[in-house]
A and B are shown apart, each in its own frame.
Chain A
Amino acid sequence: MSNDGPRTYFEIFSLPAKLVIDLPALEESFYALSRKLHPDRFAAKSLGEQAAALAESSRLNDAYRTLKGPIARTEYLLKLEGVELEEQSKSATEAARATGTAKKQIVPEDLLEEAFELNMQLEEMRMARKMGENDPQLRSDLLAAKAGFDARMAATQSELETLWADWDQALDASDAPAKAAARDAMVALLNRRSYLRNLVRDVNEALES
């Protein structure tokens, strides 16, 4: 990539577009770059240079925040790879419409079934509460469900790390099919994770209220 256009967040830190990142080194590099752009260093410079330094500093902050977070970093890399996470559902619908077949669901069927069932239970619990009832069985079912979803959320982190290693390796080997496979697996994992995250949030809300 040329230096003429806006640099990617990875390029700002002179890093390859890999996902396994040395976080302490990233932090060090962030502080070093931040010092170079500190407003004090530009106090005597022209307004144009001051504004440019400020803009660069703000982009540096965005870059650091994005690369630091495991999910944000993965989503950013996927975006660089042309994956529009927000658009997948619509594209799959368009494909289904064009071919006249049922749409390929982005989330696995069993997870949808689970999400549906859990929502039914949550609704039941809210209704019971409204009627002034408190069903201890329902509550313990929900607590058990919560523990299960929490564990699966936690597991997505290590699954993601495995995929990062796959991606980095494919990148080093310039292995396009392996890169595509790692990319698709990461997309599927993030989709599953966003469902799990919503389920955990909904169960927590229901248990706390």
Chain B
Amino acid sequence: MAYSDKVVDHYENPRNVGTLDKSCGSVGTGLVGAPECGDVMRLQIRVNPQTQVIEDAKFKTFGCGSAIASSSLATEWVKGRTVTEALTISNTDIVKELALPPVKIHCSVLAEDAIRAAIGDWKKKNGVAEEAHAEVAVAS
């Protein structure tokens, strides 16, 4: 099976590979995995406490080309969005953008999980309630 050009591009030139300081209060870390293929994906975000805008995102993924491309794309997409906006990114958006074949859909699911997990971790750290449209208490 051939990978689409976009997958190859992200795989060969992955954006935002790296690590953010896990212990930092403004950083949220999501570590997720898919038992189907044994992939592991870590996605981290740095959130501006005033604006709730995701100012930086990094990932590190061990898995196939599609898993790497999905997480690379996810970091690109979350950057510059607020956490609420980032939560609207769904795996089908990723599937469409990367033209993933059905057998690789779980890779996009993993990337969505990773975004959600990173935001969840950030919310927990900052005492934001884990609800769909929670009123956000910004620590100033």
Q: How far apart sit A86 and B90, CA to CA, in the bound complex (Å)? A: 19
- Per-residue interface assignment for chain A, residues 191 to 208, with 1 indicating a CB less than 8 Å from any chain B CB and 0 otherwise: 100110111000000000
Question: In chain A between 98 and 138, which residues have their CB closer than 8 angstroms to a CB of chain B?
Answer: 99-103, 105-107, 109, 112-113, 115-116, 119, 123
* A residues in contact with B131, CB < 8 Å: 100
Q: How far apart sit A36 and B15, CA to CA, in the bound complex (Å)? A: 62
Number of interface residues of B (CB under 8 A): 31
B130 lies within 8 A of A116 (CB): no
Closest to B113 in A: A103
With A89-B106, A90-B106, A119-B62 in contact, is A107–B33 under 8 Å at CB? yes
With A105-B33, A191-B35 in contact, is A119–B40 under 8 Å at CB? yes
Q: How far apart sit A99 and B132, CA to CA, in the bound complex (Å)? A: 7
Closest to B90 in A: A97
A89 lies within 8 A of B110 (CB): yes
Closest to A106 in B: B35
A105 lies within 8 A of B32 (CB): yes
Q: 13 other contacts beyond A107-B35, A112-B40, A195-B38, with CB at 8 A cut-off?
A: A97-B112, A101-B120, A102-B30, A102-B121, A103-B113, A105-B32, A105-B33, A115-B38, A116-B42, A116-B62, A194-B36, A194-B38, A199-B38
